[in-house]
Every structure is written in structure tokens, then in C-alpha cells.
């Protein structure tokens, strides 16, 4: 039988070009990249021996039967190994091959081993094929059964595995995985059942490999265009695989000081040329390291096993003492280095990147030539912060942010006349999470607006469901974060909630900290819009920021709340400015709230200084809504009983 080999020759030529291109480009230390190189090699071997065997079939009598068997056995073994490599490559792309137990691997490999052995013994059994006395090739008695079982197993298994772990694969990878298996299967079916005299499997397999190369293994998506190095995405992929397989991670980050300023001075184009030369020199001179360009003048060095990072860091420091660039435009950089040792336990990419970012900031603040070492304790703290962040996101998603109300005492009326609404978070795993912990995290990741919205809605619900006049509560104080104050939709969102719950805006007093005053004009406009509806504003936590007093006086605050740190520093004798601060604001018509009141003596002295309101544990901690109502009524009853005794 004579086969048409033109498609197979084309497949061989394309595969060789892909191999040369793959060898020329840099490789990331991915297991899947190693599998791909092996897969491409097997495809070339398959094409070569398929073409040779077909050429021998034209004049079979010229060659001995042993040669016929040898060439065909090599072809079938390489083809079996290629399909096996396809399957392993697919499993490796999920990043979850580490989770497969040894017994499961044995089951996965069993059809491959059976087929491999069957091909080797086929000269005696004629299972796959046989060569007659004239040297003519014939398919064996078990060819279709064995081949279809083998192919079905190694096509369905990796696809099922990829589908099961699809959440761990990028959507485009899943799509291309299905695509290259569909192409490969199409080639098998066409050659096996329709065009039996045309070699189509090779060209279809090559097309499938081309899909992998261009869309999955393509190094350009992992490469930084300016420096030619692999980028932060590539670094994340490498670290993710190392974490999955339990491989050691020994990494340093080099940061160029004041990089944005240098960009504005020298221009981005020139600076990027210099960075490219830095990348080339470090790559050429430093061995045992994978170099990545992260962003904003930061390089990551991922050290191979048994590489001395201290020597490399020292050499890089010495090199950066000299200028970089061409003679007509040399640039000198000051660098800082942080290092995360392989012995420090690591659990996620996020904690690694966060710790490196923080380590570099610390190195810049210390401003010395000592590498900032990231400790296991700091990694644990960052890990705890990530857990809190997840808990916050979960609570927001499930609307589990709760509100507690802390009473505020009027020194003139001698009773509770307002309360402050405070966010509270209880997580199923972490338990009670203090506001001092989760509020800064929510402000950092931008979820504080969602927390503020849920808190304000619960405040509106509280006001609608209770008789505020009977409680004797004039208004409820609600905190607005600096992030919320920058939102152009804040005013409409607040008004919509007040309208929905049909509450009087005069029953709301909003609190804003000094840190929200970065743009006084925008803040002033926002405050005046809300004041026009009847609500008022307090300056919260005065004394913790660095605002100019003139700027404060320009904003329409009604109340100034003095932070507990100022109150405590006065009563423990470390500062005596508190009376002057109270006097300064009082003579300008502001009402004064002192926070952090914990004793009767503090309450008496603060009242004598001129504070209008007092807030702190001396009166009450923050209480859930029902407990607050009971507290207010009990407080009123006790006061009436005291008046009756008098």
C-alpha cells in the first residue's frame, strides 16, 4: 500500500521550525514547559519514522523484515509516548498534578505501559501490526480495539481532569486545551476511517502543538517589553508552581530608589534603555538566578538551589555604585534590597508579594546597605492580615457587618443624648475582629465603602423602628471614611437610603477624620450638600492628623471630637495641651466631645474644662441595638430616682 506523505512532510518541517524557535527563546522553570519540549521532540520523531516507514512500503522487498519491524515499532512507541505526553501536559497545566497519589499515577500509566509492551512484542503476537514475507505492512488483529481504548482513555482522562480543576486554569487555557485535543482526535479519525491512505495525524497533531505554542507556551505574554526580562506575571506563575510542588523559594527584590522621579528627569525611553542594559548585564554575569522585572524599577531574583544569595547581592550592590548607560548619558542609581529566605514557610503568592513589598519599603526607610531580611513572624502577620481581608470580603458579601452603638453623655443635660454607630465583625473562623484591625484593611483594599453603606443602612433601620424622641437620643453619629468622601456618588447614596427609610436627616451627624481633608474644596461642597438636607458634621479623632487649623475652620463642622490619645496623654501627665485645645474650639462656637473617658475623675475634670459631651467606657462600651435601648432606659430611670431622693 502506498501512502500520501506530503502532509506528514509539512508537519515535520513545521515541527522543526517550532523546535528551533523554542530552543532559541528563554525558558521559564515550569514543568509544563519541559513537557512541551519533550512533546515537540516526540512529534518530530513520529513524523520522521512515519515518513521512513511509508517510503519503505513503496519497495518493501528491498528491506529486511527486521528493519520493517524496527522502524514501525519506533514510530508506534514514539506516537504512544506523544499521546501520553499530551495527557501529562494537560494535567500539568492545571497546577494540581502534585495532588495525584502514587497509586492513581499507576492507574493513569497502566494503559500506556500495556500499549508500550504490546508494541514491543507485536512481532510475535501481531497485535498492532505484522509484516508478511514480502515485507508488506498489515494492521494486526487487536489494532482497533487496543488503539481506540488507549486513545479514549488518554483523551477523556486529561480533559476530565482539566474540567474538574478548571477554576485553577485561566479560561483561555481551558479553551485551547479542548482545542488541541479536538484537533488531534480529528486527525486520528480522518486517517483511521476516511482517508486511510493519507497521513493526516501528523499535520493535525502539529496544528495542535502550534496552538499550544502560540497561545499557552508563548513566552511573549510573560515578557516585559522594555527590559526583555520575564515580568511579574511570569514570576507569579513560577512561584505558584513551586508552592504547589513544595519546591524551595529563595527570592530577593532590588528596588531603585525614587524611580518615578528619575522617569520624570531622564524620560521613560532613556530610562528603559538603561534598565534593558542592567537586565542584560545581570543576566550575563550572575549565574544560578532567574531574573524578573516586576515594575517601577524593581527586579526580582529567584535563586536556584544551593546558590549563595549574599554573594550575588553584594556583587550587585558594588556594580550599582558605578553609573549605567552610554557615555553621553550615564545614570547612577541608589538601590535597596530585601530578601525572603527559602527556610521561611510560605503558603501563597499574595503573602510573598506583600512581604517583599513591605520589606523593600522598610529597606528604603532604613536607608543603608544592609539587605532587609523578611522574618517568619512577619510572614505570619501578613498571612493573618490576608485572612482578615478574606473575612471582611465574606462579611460584606453575606451582609454580616453588624452595628454597635456607644452612648455619648451630655455634661449640660447630664444624660445620654446621642450615640455613635460602630462597625463590628465576627467571623466563623477568626472570631471577633476588632475595628482597629479590619477597618485599615478595608480602607486599603477599597471595600470600606461597602462597610459604610451597610452600617448606614442599619442605622436608618434603627431610627425608623424606634421612637428616638422617647429614647432621648437627638442624633446618631455615623463615620464616613476618607475613601467614601472621595466618591462622587456618596451624597446620592446617603440621600437614597434616608429617603427609603423615611428618616429625618437631622437625626444623623456624620463624622469625618482629618485624613479626609486632602482636598478641602471637594469636601466642603460635599458637606454643604448634606447640611442643606439637615444633617450635621463632626471632626472625628482630632489630634491624630496633621491638618492646619485654618483649613479646619474653613469647613462646616459643628462638633469637634478630641481623640482619646490627647485625653489620655493629659491625664497621665505627658502633655498639657488639652485645656488649650478645648478652649480654642469652644470660643469659636464648636461643641466639644472628649473620647476615651474611663474614670469618674476624668469625666469631672473634662466637664470643668468645657467639654460638652463625653464618650468612653466610663459610661458604656459599644452595645448592640437592643442592649443600647435597655441601657438608655435604665440610665434614665436611675437618674429620675436620684432626683426623687434629692
Per-residue pLDDT at 646 exceeds 60: no
Does residue 380 fall inside a structural domain? no
* Residues 228 and 204 reside in one and the same domain: no
Does residue 381 fall inside a structural domain? no
* Residues 504 and 578 reside in one and the same domain: yes
Q: Which residue has the higher pLDDT, 214 or 58?
A: 58
Per-residue pLDDT at 2 exceeds 80: no
Give the H or E element holding residue 409: strand 402-410
pTM for this model (two decimals): 0.67
pLDDT in tens, 468-511: 988 889 999 999 988 888 888 899 999 999 999 999 999 999 99
pLDDT at 593: 96
pLDDT at 506: 95
Q: Which residue has the higher pLDDT, 343 or 640?
A: 343
pLDDT at 565: 92
Phi, psi of 250 (to 5 degrees): -120, 110
CA dist 272 and 274 (Å) reads 5
* Residues 358 and 474 reside in one and the same domain: no
Q: Which domain holds residue 301?
A: 223-374
pLDDT in tens, 235-288: 988 898 888 778 889 999 999 998 988 888 888 888 888 898 899 898 888 888
pLDDT at 185: 82
* CATH code for the domain in which residue 273 is found: 3.30.70.270
DSSP designation for 194: I
CA dist 492 and 509 (Å) reads 16
* Residues 114 and 143 reside in one and the same domain: yes
Does residue 484 fall inside a structural domain? yes
pLDDT in tens, 293-311: 998 899 999 998 888 899 9
CA dist 419 and 409 (Å) reads 9
* Residues 228 and 194 reside in one and the same domain: no
pLDDT in tens, 390-400: 999 999 999 99
Mean pLDDT of the region 575-590: 92
pLDDT at 421: 96
* Residues 205 and 349 reside in one and the same domain: no
Number of domains in the chain: 3
* Residues 436 and 581 reside in one and the same domain: yes
CA dist 340 and 351 (Å) reads 11
Could you tell me if 389 and 407 are in contact, meaning their C-beta atoms sit under 8 angstroms apart? no
* Residues 330 and 426 reside in one and the same domain: no
> Which of 85-89, 204-208, 271-275, 612-616 has maximum average pLDDT?
612-616
Amino acid at each position: 500500500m502506498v501512502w500520501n506523505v506530503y502532509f506528514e512532510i509539512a508537519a515535520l518541517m513545521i515541527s522543526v521550525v517550532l523546535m528551533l524557535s523554542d530552543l532559541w527563546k528563554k525558558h521559564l522553570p515550569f514543568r509544563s514547559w519541559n513537557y512541551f519540549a519533550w512533546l515537540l521532540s516526540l512529534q518530530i520523531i513520529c513524523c520522521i519514522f512515519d515518513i521512513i516507514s511509508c517510503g519503505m512500503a513503496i519497495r518493501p522487498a528491498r528491506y529486511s523484515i527486521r528493519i520493517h519491524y524496527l522502524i514501525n515499532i519506533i514510530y508506534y512507541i514514539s506516537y504512544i509516548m506523544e499521546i501520553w505526553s499530551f495527557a501529562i501536559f494537560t494535567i500539568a497545566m492545571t497546577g494540581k498534578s502534585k495532588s495525584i497519589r502514587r497509586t492513581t499515577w499507576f492507574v493513569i500509566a497502566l494503559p500506556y505501559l500495556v500499549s508500550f509492551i504490546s508494541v514491543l512484542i507485536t512481532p510475535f503476537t501481531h497485535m498492532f501490526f505484522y509484516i508478511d514475507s514480502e515485507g508488506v505492512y498489515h494492521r494486526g488483529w487487536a489494532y482497533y480495539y487496543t488503539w481506540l481504548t488507549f486513545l479514549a482513555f488518554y483523551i477523556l482522562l486529561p480533559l476530565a481532569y482539566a474540567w474538574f480543576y478548571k477554576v485553577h486554569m485561566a479560561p483561555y487555557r481551558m479553551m485551547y486545551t479542548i482545542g488541541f485535543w479536538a484537533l488531534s482526535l480529528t486527525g486520528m479519525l480522518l486517517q483511521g476511517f476516511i482517508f486511510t491512505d493519507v497521513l493526516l495525524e501528523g499535520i493535525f497533531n502539529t496544528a495542535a502543538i502550534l496552538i499550544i505554542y502560540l497561545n499557552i507556551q508563548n513566552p511573549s505574554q510573560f515578557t516585559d517589553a522594555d527590559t526583555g526580562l520575564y515580568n511579574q506575571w511570569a514570576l507569579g506563575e513560577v512561584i505558584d508552581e513551586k508552592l504547589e510542588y513544595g519546591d524551595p523559594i529563595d527570592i530577593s527584590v532590588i528596588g531603585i530608589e525614587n524611580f518615578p522621579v528619575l522617569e520624570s528627569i531622564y524620560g521613560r525611553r532613556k530610562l528603559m534603555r538603561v534598565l534593558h542594559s542592567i537586565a542584560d548585564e545581570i543576566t550575563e554575569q550572575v549565574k544560578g538566578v532567574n531574573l524578573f522585572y516586576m515594575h517601577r524599577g524593581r527586579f526580582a531574583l529567584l535563586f536556584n538551589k544551593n546558590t549563595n544569595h549574599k554573594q550575588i547581592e553584594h556583587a550587585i550592590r558594588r556594580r550599582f555604585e558605578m553609573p549605567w548607560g552610554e557615555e553621553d548619558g550615564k545614570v547612577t542609581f541608589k538601590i535597596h534590597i530585601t530578601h525572603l529566605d527559602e527556610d521561611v514557610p510560605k503558603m501563597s503568592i499574595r503573602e510573598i508579594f506583600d512581604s517583599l513589598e513591605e520589606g523593600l519599603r522598610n529597606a528604603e526607610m532604613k536607608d543603608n546597605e544592609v539587605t532587609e531580611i523578611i522574618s517568619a513572624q512577619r510572614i505570619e502577620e501578613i498571612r493573618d492580615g490576608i485572612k482578615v481581608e478574606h473575612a471582611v470580603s465574606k462579611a460584606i458579601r453575606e451582609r454580616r457587618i453588624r452595628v454597635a452603638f456607644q452612648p455619648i453623655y451630655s455634661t449640660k443635660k447630664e444624660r445620654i443624648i446621642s450615640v455613635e454607630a460602630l462597625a463590628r465583625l465576627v467571623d466563623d473562623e477568626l472570631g471577633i475582629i476588632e475595628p482597629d484591625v479590619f477597618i485599615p484593611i478595608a480602607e486599603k483594599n477599597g471595600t470600606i465603602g461597602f462597610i459604610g453603606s451597610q452600617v448606614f443602612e442599619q442605622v436608618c433601620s434603627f431610627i425608623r423602628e424606634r421612637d428616638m424622641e422617647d429614647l432621648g437620643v437627638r442624633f446618631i453619629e455615623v463615620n464616613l471614611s476618607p475613601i467614601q468622601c472621595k466618591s462622587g456618588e456618596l451624597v446620592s447614596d446617603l440621600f437614597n437610603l434616608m429617603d427609603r427609610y423615611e428618616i429625618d436627616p437631622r437625626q444623623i451627624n456624620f463624622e469625618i477624620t482629618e485624613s479626609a481633608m486632602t482636598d478641602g474644596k471637594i469636601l466642603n461642597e460635599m458637606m454643604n450638600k448634606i447640611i442643606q438636607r439637615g444633617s450635621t458634621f463632626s471632626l472625628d479623632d482630632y489630634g491624630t492628623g496633621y491638618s492646619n487649623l485654618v483649613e479646619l475652620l474653613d469647613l462646616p463642622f459643628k462638633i469637634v471630637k478630641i481623640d482619646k490619645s490627647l485625653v489620655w496623654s493629659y491625664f497621665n501627665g505627658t502633655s498639657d495641651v488639652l485645656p488649650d485645645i478645648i478652649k480654642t474650639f469652644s470660643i469659636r462656637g464648636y461643641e466639644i466631645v472628649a473620647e476615651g473617658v474611663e474614670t469618674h475623675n476624668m469625666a469631672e475634670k473634662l466637664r470643668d474644662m468645657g467639654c460638652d459631651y463625653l464618650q468612653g467606657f466610663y459610661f458604656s462600651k459599644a452595645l448592640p441595638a437592643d442592649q443600647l435601648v435597655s441601657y438608655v432606659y435604665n440610665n434614665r430611670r436611675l437618674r429620675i430616682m436620684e432626683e426623687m431622693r434629692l
